[in-house]
A = this chain, B = another copy of it.
Amino acid sequence: MIKVGIIGATGYAGAELVRIIQGHPEAEVVWYGSRSYVDEKYSSVYGNFFKIVDAKCMDDNMEELADAADVIFTATPQGLCASLVNEEILNKVKVIDLSADFRLKDVSVYEKWYKIEHKAPQFIDEAVYGLCEINRDKIKGTRIVANPGCYTTCSILTAYPLVKEGLIDPDTLIVDALSGVSGAGRGAKVANLYCEVNESSKPYGVTNHRHTPEIEEQLGYAAGKEIVINFTPHLVPMNRGILATEYATLNKKDGKLPTAADVMAAYEKYYKDETFIRLLGDGVYPETRWVEGSNFVDIGFKIDERTGRIVMMGALDNMVKGAAGQAVQNMNILFGLKESMGLESAPCFP
């Protein structure tokens, strides 16, 4: 059994890690780290785990955890993982960081968008961006996985094959995305109260949301050049789910737009054998209800011949493929397990 330590176990992503690992045949949580609830029973914080998890919450001591665990998940605010990690720890355990600390390769970009100093820039190069379907091979040997964000996983996977194959002009890319409220975390803020969020939709972080450079960097690798995009997140009243609707101008070939078959071929080239990517095809659109509780990403598209653009759409569960599920998928890769282990349950509807 793989011994799992979680720092930040009482946030929503942490709790989802607990849920997934509780059903994982080869892993068990040995450390429920939570600065806010030290010594309280974990199941008093999350009543769903009553009679399932008997443990109490522990503090954030990563040094001690490194001896107790085989892998540490940090489901914590930006900056914490970077401030705790060091060479000695990395020599003992694998670290899968669900925060943004090791996602961006350029430390100045990190510091600009996140407005904090990076405390462990020496590990940035070594860290692997844990988008499993793209970076599977690099993940295998690494000590630090930078687990991608929820918006980014959805946005990148939805556009990646078309960027990579040159079917679209990446500089025309516009990502308009919707998120359920769990993405905002469990902090007690007026803005996230039930009555503030229910029966409302709103954009936020327009032109400056922190997931923007992450999308740009990864799709830039696919494009083979630096790109800038527009990314607009919206909060909509549901617990879980990310829906990304992406627009780009199609590149003509011999004066002709690519066909739906061309587009589908590009998607299949990269995703045909992927367990967790479901290609809906031309004219079929993803809905967040069909992925809820699962590690799937559903992708559909539609070409608009009138405007010469394509609309690509992707959906995932922000708590699973957008956070804890992908983190476990990364753990499976790191430890040589079947990649889908513990992640095979069907989406739960309604």
Contacts and interface: CB of A to CB of B under 8 A. Distances in A.
Copies in the complex: 4
Nearest to A349: B48
A346 B168 CA distance: 43
Interface in A282-298: 283, 285-294, 296, 298
Residue among A186, A311, A350 having the largest count of chain B Cβ atoms under 10 Å: A350
A221 interface: no
Contacts of A311: 203, 206-207, 230, 232
A274 to B, nearest CB: 10
A346 B182 contact: no
A204 B48 contact: no
B19 A51 contact: no
Given A48-B347, A350-B12, A288 B174 contact: no
A197 interface: yes
Contact of A189 (B188, B294, B306): B188
Contacts of A232: 176, 245, 311
A247 interface: yes
A178 B298 CA distance: 20
A230 B12 CA distance: 36
B289 A199 contact: yes
A258 interface: no
Nearest to A287: B202
A30 interface: no
Interface stretch (A80-88, A114-122, A130-138, A234-242): A234-242
A302 B238 contact: no
A289 B206 contact: no
Interface string A166-196: 0000000010101011100010111011111
A125 B94 CA distance: 61
Interface string A299-331: 000111011010101010001000000000000
A224 interface: no
A50 B280 contact: yes
Contacts of A39: none
B230 A176 contact: no
Interface string A336-350: 000000001111111
Interface of A: 12, 15, 18-19, 22-23, 46-52, 174, 176, 178, 180-182, 186, 188-190, 192-204, 206-207, 228-230, 232, 234, 236-241, 243, 245, 247, 278, 280, 283, 285-294, 296, 298, 302-304, 306-307, 309, 311, 313, 315, 319, 344-350
